[in-house]
Structure 1
């Protein structure tokens, strides 16, 4: 794909961001890496895999993907409304319900530019989450968490089977669903920039709540109407937020220490 009228939008992690016009006249969004990187390939694979959930999956289309460039449609911004929030809640529930049959994913994963262990596993989810998400990032974050913080997260790992609630089938989840990765257009809300994998559906909702999202109550209500959440799901929100908070400690250091410790305490009840 040839691009013209390229406008620099700055950088994010280890890649640059651009707006451009494609040779067919479409406005596009471009992520570009200086060197070969598995990050963009993983993002493209995740977007395409999420889109396999069905024609109404709320996922941005991949126009072009390579080792050094990812091209997506330019999404015209819209204002969050009750209608678009409720639509997103229903569409997210349907995407989750298209179970991939296993936890993990058939590609090397990343969150930001940190590697994620996507080893495929039929479960159970609590041990997969503890071994593939919590433990690796606890090692990365240990220096900033301190001994007391590390011990709290270790307790969560030890007690994960009790804390995780009733078993659920693997869900097709976004995996990094903070509010910045939910783009509101005039017609709907669309997912971008996933760390997609087979996981627990409560993880996406917990991540969306972590830093706050517009119309969150309407999203959850529509989701719960379409696919009722298991009893006690609100009590498990800190458990599901613990992984992204550990990621933030690994990326940004001690400024996320208190929030991570509070999530571990909340998970333990």
Structure 2
């Protein structure tokens, strides 16, 4: 696949690649570190043909997140239907100072706002992706409506239909949707979200944290913070403290973490099965108790 990567990078950047090194992936999707003839280091990736629109969605997401200048985001050099080429960032160890910068930057990024809950990035497709899972970005009048109808319910149906989730546990999650107006906390304006902010999508480099692989949309700012809590993040409490100092979170936000984790847990239950269905059912019970 090296020759295909070389040709794609040359077509997108207008420069000749002189070194191409595969970082991961296989025959249908892969990532490469590429050095151009002018010395520029770029990162190139492709998506499987089974994920139409994934490259366009990611390119639009990265550009939208970079627009306010609040957080470090790799520059997008261009894309084609199957290839995305961005700035390549050398990785380094996470630091407390970088975590605090991330917290302040996330607060400002969220405050940059979005046209509506569920709105895609400008120029991005409504049918996007979160990891390997399809994700529909459909504007809604408020966050509870958007989250219940366009995040929880589609994957709840798939999880129950596939047998990943029992009917009984599915009923518990349906109760969350029925009560979501009460569970959602104080109304908030639409925030500009990364949308898939688990620890693997925080790239530590040059004494700051870079946001990569976004699934950006207009949503609730507590969602990004809940995702950071889902699989852990270096210096997480420093991130949260700096965020709260910059733009204080609403009272009870920690009690709502489970509610915001419900969607990614359902996605994981559908994709990977295992213990994720049990975690989703547990998150639903926690959300109901907290409300």
1:40 pairs, out of 39, 55, 60, with: 55
CA distance in 2: counterparts of 1:26 and 1:245, whole angstroms: 39
Equivalent residues, number: 267
Aligned-residue CA RMSD (Å)? 1.7
Q: Determine whether 1:27 maps to 2:46.
A: no
Q: What CA distance in whole angstroms lies between the structure 2 residues aligned with 1:4 and 1:138?
A: 48
TM-score (normalised: structure 2): 0.87
> Tell me, what secondary structure is at the counterpart of 1:19?
strand
Give the conservation status (yes or no) of the 8 Å contact 1:13–1:112: no
Q: Which residue of 2 aligns with 1:133?
A: 151
Q: Is the 8 A contact 1:145 1:254 kept in 2?
A: no
Q: 1:120 to 1:3 in 2, by over 3 A?
A: farther
Q: Does 1:120 align with 2:143?
A: no
Question: Gapped runs of 5+ residues in structure 2?
Answer: 1-12
Instruction: Give 3-state SS (helix, strand or coil) of 1:29's partner.
Output: strand
TM-superposed deviation, 1:26: 1.4
| Structure having the higher Rg | 2
- Secondary structure of the residue aligned to 2:76 is coil
Distance in structure 2 (CA, Å) of the matches to 1:102 and 1:47 = 18
Deviations 1:205-230 (A, max 9, x none): 00011000000000000000000000
Cα distance change, pair 112–62 in 1 and its aligned pair in 2 (3 A): same
State the partner residue of 2:66. Answer: 51
> Do the aligned partners of residues 13 and 264 (structure 1) sit closer, same or farther apart at CA in structure 2, a change above 3 Å counting?
farther
SS in 1 for 2:71: coil
Which secondary structure state, in structure 2, belongs to the residue aligned with residue 254 of structure 1? coil
CA distance in 2, matches of 1:12, 1:181: 20
3-state DSSP of counterpart to 2:166: helix
CA–CA distance in structure 2, aligned partners of residues 216 and 24 of structure 1: 38
Q: C-alpha deviations, 1:192-244, integer Å up to 9, x for none?
A: 00110000000000001100000000000000000000000000000000001
